[in-house]
Amino acid sequence: MPLITLPNRQSLTTSIRATAQVFEDPQSTALLSRIQLIAPSDANVLIIGETGTGKELIARHVHALSQRADQPFVAVNCGAFSESLVESELFGHEKGAFTGAFAAKPGWFEAANGGTVFLDEIGDLPLNIQVKLLRILQEREVVRLGSRKPIPINVRVIAATNVRLEEAVAAGHFREDLFYRLRVAHLALPALRDRPGDILPLARHFVDEYRQRLGYGDVALHADAERKLLQHPWP
């Protein structure tokens, strides 16, 4: 059974909603084949899927299969920062750039230099930050807040969203040019209800994991339990 899990997930500080992904259902095996095709390239990737479908997990797997695997993987939740802080967090700032900036600080793009930056909930970025992100993708350089000196960077961008960016573009909330820059390669993650062949393998994985963690002996799912899992709507 093909299986990917997060490395050292207890030590990760990012907001992890899914920690394991199996690839038994035909939809999942097709997704895995597409990941293996996309990963070795250096193309930007846009991952679309509902909350909990494992977007960060897939992003980490793309990075692990890429030529950047031995370089940093930096995960950033774009919805976790206030509009006043998001530019400093992403692109860095110089000393004195704003009140409280007592020292220069590199942003997440500099931290990911040579590797991959994962921008989760990309649809939450304010329009003015979208403009600056587009310039970074075009020019391959970042300018810290409070500075005029560009810093060359070499990063692969993987972005993720749980909303339809096409609709956000049509509504004027997301730049169309940035959308196409991010969507060089596209991965659509189906929800668990749409890949029923993964339900029992995933359940068995977690049963086994917690069995070992709690020090239990062998545990097997009863046929009635399996039937209920398969009948569940998985909203």
215 by Cβ neighbours in 10 Å (0-12 / 13-18 / 19+) ranks as exposed
Widest pairwise Cα distance in the chain: 65
Partners of 119 in the β-ladder: 76, 159
Token representation of residue 62: 């793309």
Q: Pick the closest to residue 150 from 98, 94, 77, 100 (CA basis).
A: 94
The topology under which CATH files domain 3-190 is Rossmann fold (3.40.50)
pTM over 0.85: yes
Token representation of residue 92: 């860095």
- Report d(CA 78, CA 54) in Å as an integer: 17
Domain with CATH 3.40.50.300 in the chain: 3-190
Print pLDDT tens along the chain (235 aa).
687 776 655 444 444 567 788 899 999 999 999 999 999 999 999 999 998 899 999 999 999 999 999 999 999 998 888 877 888 889 888 887 787 778 888 889 999 999 999 999 999 999 999 999 999 999 999 998 888 889 999 999 999 998 889 999 999 999 999 999 999 999 999 999 999 999 999 999 999 989 998 999 999 999 999 999 999 999 8
* Structure confidence by residue, pLDDT tens digits, 39-96: 999 999 999 999 889 999 999 999 999 999 999 999 999 888 887 788 888 988 888 7
